[in-house]
Amino acid sequence: MKANIHPDYHEVNIIMTDGTEFKTRSCMGKAGETLRLDIDPKSHPAWTGQQRIVDTGGQVAKFNKKFASIGTRKK
């Protein structure tokens, strides 16, 4: 391996959607930073079998507004 080309690999805190926390190692951010998950295996429909819309910052509304006219005919 070449020296001095790899990112710093350090410990970070992860907070799941239900509030549980754990530590892991990552290249993200700086040592000791916290990552809050919006979707994780406890809330994702692929694992839970339940559909729900997670609207963080109005993203769903923004999408609907942007693409509302698609599929309508203009004469």
* pLDDT tens digits for range 17-55: 888 899 999 988 889 999 888 877 777 666 667 766 666
Mean pLDDT of 49-63: 71
Round to whole Å and give the CA distance between 65 and 17.
Answer: 28
For residue 30, the 8-state DSSP code is S
pTM of the model: 0.52
Place of tokens 């729900």: 52
Residue 16 has pLDDT above 80, yes or no: yes
Residue 4 has pLDDT above 90, yes or no: no
Which of 33, 32, 25 minimizes the C-alpha distance to 9? 25
